[in-house]
Amino acid sequence: MLSGLRSTVAQQARGFATSNIAVDGFTGAVGNTPLIYLKSLSEQTGSKIYGKAEFQNPGGSIKDRAAVGIVLDAEEKGRIKPGGTIVEGTAGNTGIGLAHVCRARGYKCVIFMPNTQSQEKIDLLSMLGAEVHPVPAVPYENPLNYNHQAKEYAEKLENAIWTDQFDNTANAYAHYISTGPEIWEQTKGDIDGFICSTGTGGTLAGVGKYLKEKSPKTQIWLADPPGSVLYQYVSTGGQLVERSGSSITEGIGQGRVTNNLGTFINDLTGALHIPDEKSISMVYQLLDSEGLYVGASSALNVVAAVELAQKLGKGSKVVTVLCDGAHRYQSRLFSKTWLESKELGEAIPESLRKYAVL
């Protein structure tokens, strides 16, 4: 057995990841996630498909990177001083990442979230010491929307900032300086396509911009769920339609071009629309064939990566991100009743329905 101190040689011999350098607190532990070769899907398509294991971040999701990036940027710019308050409007992972960073760096954390969110998320944020304000789930245009309430709350306090994950470009920059370079190194620069979905757009724009600068031939694609307007926007060359419909894929989908996406949206090669039936089926497939327990946005990303690999042809190398684990959604994604309420029970191949045990 490996002892407390990791042995690089023993790890390599067993094929484990080999980073063995001590890191500085929570923020130092974010990033440097493995790039997982998805064997069964790669063999099925004759391409090489990889998922970046963002669920391995210490706060459990890709949003730890944005949380660290935004807070360190605010510290550097003198926008926040020790003992200050960090306020955000978020339905989930960003809040959890920020709550961790706040505990680790001595800030108070206040989170405004729509009152439709799961009790698990509210409980976790509270356990991490955040002050949670559930507010009515109303559209962005309404002044009572959780984002506007967060902004106003921060403006009234001394030594407080609203982190503004959608339009604060320290978010995309965190991916430009970490996720992008990691993928470039892990693929040794041999990458034909990168595709992922967007919430704030930080991941897509940050990673995409870095990869494009390194290798202009690498195609960058958007994967979009139902209820988002960006698929339409990209495929029509800039037509913004009204938002309608919804998806089971929490944390993604967007009604506007955020500052984090910015003009990078014009550099995308294209967009794929992925229906919920395919995403939920992939949640189960990834579990069954790859042993990966991931959330629906990760599954949607993998469906999109497979479709992109098919477009690019046999032998192509495509990377996507596995945003978080299924734990935060398991009472839904693995519940027969919930799946039936969304008319998704039949979307899962019969042989895999045995995993829906809740």
Q: Is residue 63 annotated as a catalytic residue, yes or no?
A: yes
Say how far residue 90 (Cα) sits from the centre of its chain.
Answer: 13
- Cβ closer to ligand PMP: 249 or 316? 249
* Sign, Cα dihedral of 63, 65, 66, 72: positive
- Cβ closer to ligand PMP: 44 or 232? 232
Task: Write out the binding residues for ligand PMP, residues 281-320 only, by CB under 6 A.
Answer: 295, 297
- Cβ closer to ligand PMP: 84 or 99? 99
**Out of 89, 97, 251, 253, which residue is the one contacting ligand PMP (CB under 6 A)?**
251
**Out of 198, 219, 247, 320, which residue is the one contacting ligand PMP (CB under 6 A)?**
198
Say how far residue 49 (Cα) sits from the centre of its chain.
Answer: 18
Position 33 contacts ligand PMP (CB under 6 A): no
Helical packing angle, 63-76 and 93-105, nearest 10°: 50
Q: Which of 63, 121, 212, 278 is labelled catalytic?
A: 63
Backbone dihedral angles phi then psi of residue 267, each to the nearest 5 degrees: -90, 0
Alpha-carbon distances, residue 302 vs 80, 87, 155, 294 (angstroms): 38, 32, 40, 11
- Cβ closer to ligand PMP: 58 or 202? 202
Shortest reach from residue 88's CB to ligand PMP, in Å: 11
Position 97 contacts ligand PMP (CB under 6 A): no
Stretch that binds ligand PMP, among 131-139, 148-156, 248-256, 303-311 (CB under 6 A): 248-256
| CA neighbours closer than 13 Å in the CB half-sphere of residue 31 | 22
How many C-beta atoms surround the C-beta of residue 20 within 10 A? 10
Shortest reach from residue 213's CB to ligand PMP, in Å: 19
**Out of 147, 150, 324, 325, which residue is the one contacting ligand PMP (CB under 6 A)?**
324
Task: Write out the binding residues for ligand PMP, residues 45-84 only, by CB under 6 A.
Answer: 61-63
Position 174 contacts ligand PMP (CB under 6 A): no
- Cβ closer to ligand PMP: 297 or 316? 297
Shortest reach from residue 298's CB to ligand PMP, in Å: 7
User: Annotated catalytic sites, by residue?
Assistant: 63
Enumerate binding residues for ligand PMP (CB under 6 A): 61-63, 92-93, 197-203, 250-252, 295, 297, 323-324
